[in-house]
Chains A and B, each alone.
Chain A
């Protein structure tokens, strides 16, 4: 059952997918459903003995292409809608214990290619308005499978946070300036929160970071989506992601949990040039090696983040972690 219900108090859709209660939860490695199917072994999601990168439709999707109109009709005040969309799982490797940080730049470069392909294919579907590429890593984030993978939600609407960001960028860009380009310029000029710079991408802890070690990876060129990256930019993105992820793992000496999300142009047919600026945001939940930042009452009930550390301090620490991890 995939159903949307409108929350008129926050003016946003809430998705209901009750079948997800039954999804696989932290199985032992020998029963990992994302590993290749071995001869004589149990059938996994991947009917091959090996693979490089694979993408499949989630067995427990939050949105489904064939979601019917909901039986529950709601009201004029609280309407419902079909949860029509697509949820995909992106398998980064057939090695169960691999992580994105441990992969070669070449593999990450290939993954960029796959992400761009999925953005274009899913975005071309007439019922998809936003292609959201993300990764939840680590049990602290609530992952249910350890095998290295990310996910893609192709939403039938523009989700609230990107919508809010796009609205702000559109208002700002009315003066012919890109909000994100100006933010990036400001970070470059200041320099204190820059974590790493490539030829075509920069990583920094934003001036207004919500999580202590939050990092944003911005394309220098003002492009709406990952599909607009040229070959050199794709190589540089892989290089910078590798540096950042290795630095994250070096920060506290363990594989750091994080949420990784991509913000880019919606696929609703509107023109987002100069408004959407492709970037990736990382939100690690750790504020120290053994303490997590929880989204408690102020963050969840008031929408007001309370941060425990200044971005200038955490950026310096993270930059040091990247530099000391460099070969």
Chain B
């Protein structure tokens, strides 16, 4: 659960404001995969 890397995309809105979309590697899913891997080898 490192939370990295973070991607940041800034998009202008029609009325002049902005919206920023943040996205991350899905670390929770990674952890699940790692966990299941440990189970299968035990």
**A residues at B contact (CB < 8 Å):** 45-48, 51-57, 59, 104-107, 109-110, 112-114, 117, 231, 234-235, 238
Q: Determine if B21 and A106 form an interchain contact, defined as CB atoms under 8 angstroms apart.
A: no
Q: Are B19 and A45 in contact (CB under 8 A)?
A: yes
- Once A52-B24, A56-B13 are accepted as A-B contacts, the answer to whether A106 and B3 lie under 8 Å apart by CB is yes
Q: Do A235 and B1 touch (CB < 8 A)?
A: yes
Using a CB–CB cutoff of 8 Å, the interface residues on chain B facing chain A are 1-4, 6, 8, 11, 13, 17-24, 26-28, 31
Q: A56 vs B10: C-alpha distance in the bound complex, in angstroms?
A: 9
**Interface contact A59-B2, CB-CB below 8 Å:** no
Contact A117 B17 (CB under 8 A): no
List of B residues within 8 angstroms of A46 by Cβ: 19
B31 touches A106 (CB 8 A): yes
B2→A235 contact, CB < 8 A = yes
Note all chain A residues with C-beta closer than 8 A to B4: 113, 231
Residue on B with the closest CB to A105? B1
Q: Is the pair A235, B21 in contact by a Cβ cutoff of 8 Å?
A: no
B3 touching A55, Cβ below 8 Å: no
B15: nearest chain-A partner, CB-CB: A59
Considering only CB atoms, which chain B residue lies closest to A51 in the complex? B21
Whether the Cβ atoms of B28 and A106 lie closer than 8 Å is: yes
Q: Which residue of chain A has the shortest Cβ distance to B11 in the bound complex? A: A47
Q: Is the CB of A57 within 8 A of B18?
A: yes
The 8 sampled A-B contact pairs (Cβ below 8 Å) are A51-B21, A51-B23, A54-B19, A55-B20, A57-B18, A57-B19, A113-B4, A117-B22
**Whole-angstrom distance between the alpha carbons of A53 and B17 in the complex?**
17
Contact (Cβ within 8 A) B18 A110: no
Question: Smallest CB–CB gap between B4 and chain A, Å?
Answer: 7
A55 CA to B18 CA, complexed, in Å: 8
Contact B1 A54 (CB under 8 A): no
Contact between chains at B3 and A109 (CB < 8 Å): yes
Given contacts A51-B23, A59-B17, A106-B1, 10 further A-B contacts (CB under 8 A): A47-B13, A53-B23, A57-B13, A106-B3, A110-B22, A110-B24, A113-B6, A231-B3, A234-B3, A235-B3
Q: Residue on A with the closest CB to B28?
A: A106
**Chain A residues in 8 Å Cβ range of B3:** 106, 109-110, 112-113, 231, 234-235, 238
Chain A residues within an 8 Å CB radius of B17: 56-57, 59
Chain B proximity of A124: nearest CB distance (Å): 15
Q: Are A104 and B22 in contact (CB under 8 A)?
A: no
- The reply to whether B1 and A238 contact each other, CB–CB distance below 8 Å, is yes
Q: A105 CA to B1 CA in the complex, in Å?
A: 8
Q: How far is the CA of A171 from the CA of B19 in the complex (A)?
A: 41
On whether the beta carbons of B2 and A47 are closer than 8 Å, the reply is no
Bound-state CA distance A29–B7 (Å) is 29
Residue pair A109, B19 in contact (C-beta under 8 Å)? no
Q: Which residue of A lies closest to B26 (CB)?
A: A106
Q: Which residues of B contact A48 (CB under 8 A)?
A: 21
Shortest beta-carbon distance, B33 to chain A, in Å?
13
**Minimum Cβ distance to chain A for residue B30 (Å):** 9
